[in-house]
Structure 1
Amino acid sequence: MNDHTDENSTDPTTQRKHAAMIDRLSNLHQARLSTKTNSKDPTFESTQSFLTLFTNSKQSIESSLTQIQQTPNPDPNSDLEKISNSISDLEKLVAENSYFLPPYEVRSSLKTISDLKQTLDSVTSKVKPRKKFSFKNKPAKKPESESKPESESKPEPESQSNYKITDSPGFRGKENAILTKEFTGLEIREFVLSDLTNCEVKLKGCFRTLFINRVQNCKIYVGPVSGSILIEEVEGCLFVLASHQIRIHDAKGCDFYLQCRSRPIIERSFGVRFGPYRLYYDGIETDLKESNLYDDTGNWANVDDFQWLRAVQSPNWSILPENERIDTIKI
């Protein structure tokens, strides 16, 4: 398993594409410089200018949250919706400017946004205790056997998820836990990680499909998955994964260390970084070979952002700098 690809082996066609991309980047840079005086442009290319607007927006949201608690009106729906939209606008601001911001500022901004969401949920539960306001538009689906009364009361639209969390084996609804599982053979086709917070997950051995849904501040280490890994609504996590296909939806501020046969796909995600697979356990080489995942294709660095259709590099993801990558994890 190699940690990098040989840049000198690039074929002439790829070199020409790379040269064309450099030209486009240069032209884009010149165009930005010529329009830099346009005050309506939300893209600054100045960290200080970004921080000024971000801080002002943050303070405005915090002021609105305080005001709604001090003078609640009989029907706060409109006020809550405005605050929710303001937080969404703040997320968009970070996404649009993340391509030039230092990594620390991106992560700090994402943490601020996460805190604002939590405060909004807390305020909502106080002013609307009988019907919890949901920041996201997607329902928090759970297996029928584990559904909770409060989740049933949320009048939310149908999920846009590309997969459904069934009653497959898995870890669900855990906090501050170390969760381990060892697979032998392919007796388990699907495994689920759902609604986890501040957990460390270690999955050894091979299985067919992994679903990861609504996970926050977790470290997840996974042996070879012979089919697909589908990830949705994750934030502040570290993933070490090997699979033939990996799709990532609604990820924020996460690091992914991957070994994959096809190009990883991201959608509605930003502040995500990618590096090569860094996992070891006794027998992992055999598992990788049996799953046809032993050879590093370098696809971990070839990410497709399905919501970024421009010719230039998507600002929503980046390659992890070598000096910031984790060492190989032994589980």
Structure 2
Amino acid sequence: MMDKSLGARLFEERMNQRENERLASKEKKNVVESNETMVERVRYFSEILSLKRGEIEHSLNAAVHLNKEDLPEHFNKVSDELQQVNRYLSDSSLYLPLYNIRKAQEQVQDLQQRSEILEEQLLPKKKFGFKQRKMKKLLKDDIIPCKIEDLVDSVPKKLFSMQLYNDNSCGFADKEDEELIMKDKDLEGKDVVLTNLRRCRVRLYGTPSTLHMTSLTSCEILVGPVSTSVFLDKCTDCTFVFACQQVRIHNNRRCNFYVHVTSRSIIEDSKEVRFAPYNWHYPELEEHFVKAGLDRDENHWHAVDDFNWLALDVPSPNWSVIEEPDRVVDWR
């Protein structure tokens, strides 16, 4: 009996060791596959950006050979192409490393500057009116606390950051100690922007297209299903509850995330961020999940890629899971 018991224990220990080795190998394989996927995404993005840049450069080279009466329409098309590239860059920033984003920004800004200079040479009077008209279309008075006149002479530097604010934008800016609410009819298909809020409670009952949150401090943000992506930058001591396809978290500190996300979350330059599954409820929630096109059964809330942590065999110290006893369950 003693020998049999000892043999059984040795067998059990051996099986447990093999199981632990299998799980470790699987985890390492998942991380390697994730890194390979990232390399492929960067390669694909670079190819598309190179193609778009080539098309714009060709258009700029062709401008010097056009009749003067054809130039206004030609530069309008160039401007539209630049805005398309900026939107592509904004969407891609959710899964690109910061280095690639900054490099792409520089390349696009170089094209913008070249376009501005060429238009100045070929249509000096047209340029000012055209640029001011374009900026009016991009700005929202209740979102961006600046004047059009202050930006007219610095479009190349400002254009990329301005792309988040457009005719489809809504949201809240520059608020303190307020409860802020938006309903379904005001949110559906909108690009929602929350910026420079302090100690605010925000409730968004609906299905935005995108959600951008910057410079939030000690806020509680609850959002219905977002159709596409969520982007956060420079948020501190906040709690976020949202559902989306993909999320990019940049430069955040001491924030909690209750998320339903159908792809892996991405964090960068962030510390002390914690994750738990999405658990907000309101009467129209199920209807809004369907409207947003999100799969209720697919939630990768615990799958997080940290761009600042490349070790394959050691978990990132920058994020953790909120243990069940510590999770908020009643959002009033």
For residue 324 of structure 1, what is the aligned residue in structure 2? 326
Matched, 1:147 2:148: no
Q: What residue number does 2:272 align with? A: 271
Separation in 2 of the partners of 1:293 and 1:144?
29
Aligned to 1:173: 174
Q: What's 1:315 paired with?
A: 317
Conserved in 2, the CA contact under 8 Å of 1:259 and 1:296? no
* CA distance in 2 between partners of 1:206 and 1:322 (Å): 28
Confirm or deny that 1:300 pairs with 2:306: no
Cα deviation, residue 186, structure 1: 6.7
Partner Cα distance (2:209, 2:323) in 1: 31
Measure, in 2, the Cα distance between the counterparts of 1:162 and 1:265.
20
Match in the other structure for 2:154: none
CA root-mean-square deviation: 3.2
Contact 1:260/1:296 (8 A) holds in 2:
no
Quick one: distance in 2 between partners of 1:249 and 1:230?
8
| Structure with a larger share of its residues in strand | 1
Structural mapping, 1:132-281, within 5 Å: 145=141, 146-148=144-146, 164-167=163-166, 168-184=169-185, 187-281=188-282
Compared with structure 1, are the counterparts of its residues 18 and 292 closer, same or farther at alpha carbon in structure 2 (3 Å cutoff)?
farther
Asked which structure has the greater RCO (Cα within 8 Å, sep 6+), the reply is 1
Separation (CA, whole Å) in 2 of partners of 1:190 and 1:271: 28
TM-fit CA distance, 1:329 = 2.4
- Which of the two has higher C-alpha Rg? 2
Preserved CA contact (<8 Å) 1:195 1:213: yes
In 1: Cα distance, 2:300 partner to 2:328 partner: 19
TM-score normalised per structure 1: 0.53
Give the secondary-structure state (helix, strand or coil) at the position aligned to 2:301: helix
- Using a 3 Å threshold, how does the CA distance of structure 1 residues 15 and 212 change in structure 2: closer, same or farther? farther
**Alignment check: 8 A CA contact 2:188 2:206 kept:** no
Match for residue 24 of structure 2?
Answer: 19
What letter corresponds to residue 173 of structure 1 in structure 2? D
Show structure 1 runs of 4+ deviating over 4 A: 14-17, 161-164
Alignment of 1:273-292 (within 5 A): 273-292=274-293
SS at match of 1:173: strand
Taking structure 2 as the reference length, the TM-score comes to 0.52
What amino acid sits opposite 1:19 in the alignment? A
Deviation, structure 1 residue 278: 1.2
> Alignment length, in residue pairs?
195
CA distance in 1, matches of 2:186, 2:286: 15
Q: 1:273 to 1:202 in 2, by over 3 A?
A: same
Deviation per CA, 1:290-314, whole angstroms, max 9, x where unpaired?
3233424341101111111111100
Q: Is the 8 A contact 1:244 1:261 kept in 2?
A: yes
1:165: Cα distance to partner?
3.5
Q: Secondary structure at the match of 2:298?
A: coil
**Retained in 1: the 8 A contact 2:188–2:207?**
no
Match of 1:117 in 2: none
The alpha-carbon distance between structure 1 residues 303 and 186, as it changes in their structure 2 partners (threshold 3 A), is same
Q: Does the CA-based 8 Å contact 1:185-1:206 persist in structure 2?
A: no
Identify unmatched segments of 5+ residues in structure 2: 1-18, 29-137, 152-156
Contact in 1 for aligned 2:262/2:295 (Cα 8 Å):
no
* Cα distance change of structure 1 residues 144 and 212 upon mapping to structure 2, 3 Å threshold: same
Identity %: 35
Deviation at 1:211, TM superposition (A): 0.7
Q: CA deviation at 1:179?
A: 0.3
CA distance in 2 between partners of 1:15 and 1:171 (Å): 49
Q: Which amino acid aligns with 1:280?
A: H
- Counterparts of 1:204 and 1:190, CA distance in 2: 14
Q: CA 1:190–1:280 in 2, change beyond 3 Å: closer, same or farther? A: same
Post-superposition CA distance 1:208-227 (Å, at most 9, x none):
11111111100000000011
